[in-house]
Each structure stands twice: as C-alpha cells, then as structure tokens.
Amino acid sequence: MKILTLALIGAAAWLTVGCANPERSRDLGNPAIPGPVLAQQACSMCHGVTGVATSPNFPNLAGQTEGYVVAQLTEFRSHSREDPAGFEYMWGIARRLTDTQIKDLAAYYAKQVPAHQTPEGDPARIDAGHALFTTGAPTRGIPACSSCHGDHGQGLAAFPRLAGQHSDYVVKQLRVFQRTEGRPDGPAMKAVAHGLTAEDMANAASFVQSM
C-alpha cells in the first residue's frame, strides 16, 4: 500500500513535470525552464532560433559577448536600460528571468555562429564607415571604434560585438547614447557618440553590418 502510494505520488509528480514540458515551454516566469529552451522557444520569435534575427527591428544576438548580454538582460529586468524599444519589448520579457537563466541565455548566444550579412548599401558609405571604425576622426576627437569593439568588431566582455549587426539598430542605439541617458553603461559610448554626425552614424552602421 505504502509502495503504491509512493508510486502514485511519483507518477503524479512526473505528470506535472510532463505537462509543463520543460523542453518546449516558453513560460518566461518559470525558473525551472532552462535558458537555452527559452532562447529557442520564446526569444526566437524576435531574435531567431540561433540569435540571427531576420527582421532589422530586432538585434542579432548570435556571437554576442557573454558579459554584455548578462548586463543588458539584468538592466532590462531592473528597468535601468530604458531606451524606448527596450522598455516596450524587453522589460516584460526580462521581468522574471532568474540570474541562472540570464547566465545560460548569454552562454547560449555567445556560442552561436554570428550573422554574416551580405554587404549591401552604398559602397562609399561602407568605405567611410570603415575609415571611421579603424581610425576614428582624430581632428574631431572621435576615437576608433575598433579600439574598444575589436579590429573585427568582434567585441570583448563588456564591449559588445558589432560585426554583422543590423544597421538600423546600430543607428538607433548611437542616437540613444548621444541624446539620452537611457543606457546605464553608456558613459563611454556617450563620449564617443557626442561628436558623431548623422552621416557618421549611417556610415559606421553600414560598415558594421557588412563586417
């Protein structure tokens, strides 16, 4: 009898887990769902299954540095990253993620193959963006983007990967850094973005997308 009861409890527990189906769940409020499952079942709607987003409205996450993704998700969760699209899309999504889920999501994206964009757009723009990226504009006090983001735009730790990122998103974020306080880790970029013209932004964005 005792054994039967135990067996029933066991089966009930198994069934409960079975129903929640942790391998397929997109429940962003359940701490038991592993980060990679969330990435593939929920985040994929906008960012793509492997973090390559087909729509330029959504940033690519594939190959993004781990430390940077942990920081951004933590800042969406605490509402300290408050640029409008972040507020609109990511606050609700990050609200109940646990530290472990955030760490595992970041590790998942860091090991995906980064987006390879076909160089499209104005070649003159891409060339001008290349120059800005690798040498900056010393006479205007603008440092080379590569000095922080890496020679190949690959990023490192808190410096995000830019290579292959959607140009629309890059321009949008450069404006956020230049004009707002919406990104809490933004001071370094605010100093850089301060001197950028709209042309510079469009050029740099075309270049990084083509990298």
Distances (CA, A) of 142 to 5, 12, 48, 173, 185: 72, 63, 34, 17, 19
What is the distance in angstroms between the CA of the first residue and the CA of the last residue of the chain?
Answer: 68
> How far apart, in whole angstroms, are the C-alpha atoms of residue 29 and residue 180?
31
Q: Which is nearer to ligand HEC, 7 or 134 (CB)?
A: 134
Least Å from the CB of residue 134 to ligand HEC: 10
Least Å from the CB of residue 142 to ligand HEC: 6
Torsion angle (degrees, nearest 10) of CA 91, 182, 105, 68 = -170
Least Å from the CB of residue 6 to ligand HEC: 37
Least Å from the CB of residue 68 to ligand HEC: 6
The first and second tokens of residue 131, run together, are 């120059």
Contact residues for ligand HEC (CB under 6 A)?
38, 42-43, 45-47, 57-59, 61, 69, 71-73, 83, 85-86, 89-90, 93, 105, 132, 142-143, 145, 147-149, 158-160, 162, 170, 172-174, 183, 185-186, 188-189, 192, 204
Q: Which is nearer to ligand HEC, 7 or 158 (CB)?
A: 158
Q: Which is nearer to ligand HEC, 5 or 88 (CB)?
A: 88
CB 62 within 8 A of CB 112: yes
Least Å from the CB of residue 17 to ligand HEC: 21
The first and second tokens of residue 66, run together, are 């781990």
> How far apart, in whole angstroms, are the C-alpha atoms of residue 193 and residue 200?
10
Q: Which is nearer to ligand HEC, 5 or 29 (CB)?
A: 29
Q: Which is nearer to ligand HEC, 10 or 134 (CB)?
A: 134
* CA-based nearest residue to 164, from 106, 210, 112, 110: 210
Q: Which is nearer to ligand HEC, 6 or 140 (CB)?
A: 140
Least Å from the CB of residue 14 to ligand HEC: 27
> How far apart, in whole angstroms, are the C-alpha atoms of residue 127 and residue 122?
9
